[in-house]
Amino acid sequence: MMVEQASDGTPGTPGGPLAHIPLFERLDPVEQTALFHLMQREAAAANKTICWHGDRGESLYVISRGRVAVVVPSVQGDQLMVDTLGPGGFFGEISLLDGGPRTATVRALEDTELLVLGQDDFQAFLRQRPDAAIDILAEMGHRHRKTTDALRGMTNPNVAFEMTRAGWWQRISDVIAMVAASRWFTLFHIVWFGGWMLVNSAARQGVLPAAWAVDPYPFQLLTMIVSLEAIFLSIFVLVSQNRQSEKDRISIDLDHQVNVKAQTEIAEIARRLDRIEGMLAPPPKS
């Protein structure tokens, strides 16, 4: 990538050269200009990888021209595109603050021009202008609040699945499967089958009127009714089980994603603790 000092020709708004960048839009024009002069200009050709996932990050990238793709590796090793950024977009702000590893790979989709702000220059800028640090933190807090509100507004995936995939047939199947699994359903059939056999046997023996013996032993009519009921019940239960299996699969996928995210966060915390331990360790005695 070609690197040169940034000039004032970067597209911006009348408020300042960085007013089109959300992270710096709260800064006044003087602060934006001072920060802009600390940036270096880089050019990335189409399909050029700008930064790799896991690399140590010490700079913020602002897109002046062109487009980039943000991709992350999946558990299976595939590269999943999570976002595309155009002019005014930026990436690497997390690494700019903590110097940790990159959380994604960024690749240029076309010939792209970038403005790069190094971590040392950024920290020196904040030391000289502490008010700017407050503005940047306020913007980051605003973005965090928006993310939190978006997460609160997310629909439970099982509820969304229920709303989009549950037709009248699925709802009827769920109700029938739920009723068939109840104890009252079993008790009803015990009373029905026992009463049916008792009445027909008693009518056949003359204890009850002979006209009541509509299905004498071996109760062929009852056998046919029970067989038809079992066939239809099995169909309804299978439909309901298939829907429940899809719900369980969604829950398992979400649990897996949460576990992977937790593993990544724990590994990052471990790396930070290692750095802190290295900083606090006493120097070796000569």
- Write down the pLDDT at residue 158: 56
| Phi and psi angles of residue 205, each rounded to the nearest 5 degrees, phi first | -85, -5
Q: Rg of the Cα trace of the chain?
A: 34
Task: Give every residue of the chain whose pLDDT is below 70, as ranges.
Answer: 1-15, 73-80, 96, 98-99, 139-166, 247, 250-251, 253-254, 256-258, 260-261, 264-265, 268, 279-281, 283-286
- Interior CA angle at 11 toward 9 and 14, to 5°? 100
Does pTM top 0.85 for this prediction? no
Tens-place pLDDT, residues 109-165: 999 999 898 888 888 888 887 777 777 777 666 666 665 665 555 555 555 555 555
Q: 2-152: what fold?
A: Jelly Rolls (2.60.120)
Distance, CA of 75 to CA of 268 (rounded, Å):
17
For the chain, the straight-line distance linking the first and the last C-alpha, in angstroms and rounded, comes to 44
21 in Cβ contact with 11 (< 8 Å): no
106 in Cβ contact with 94 (< 8 Å): no
How many residues appear in the chain? 286
Helix or strand holding residue 63 (H, E): strand 59-65
- Write down the pLDDT at residue 112: 92
User: How many Å is the maximal CA-CA distance in the chain?
Assistant: 113
Report the DSSP beta bridge partners of residue 108.
Answer: 68
Distance, CA of 66 to CA of 86 (rounded, Å):
6
Q: Is the dihedral of CA 129, 131, 133, 136 positive or negative?
A: negative
| Distance from the Cα of residue 3 to its chain's centroid | 36
106 in Cβ contact with 91 (< 8 Å): yes
Q: If we measure between CA atoms, which residue out of 46, 55, 48, 52 comes closest to residue 105? A: 52
Residue type, 80: L
Question: If you ran DSSP here, which 8-state letter would residue 51 be given?
Answer: E
Q: Is residue 101 reached through a cis peptide bond, with omega within 30 degrees of 0 on the bond before it?
A: no
Q: If we measure between CA atoms, which residue out of 41, 55, 47 comes closest to residue 8? A: 41
Q: Is the dihedral of CA 132, 133, 134, 135 positive or negative?
A: positive
- Write down the pLDDT at residue 156: 54
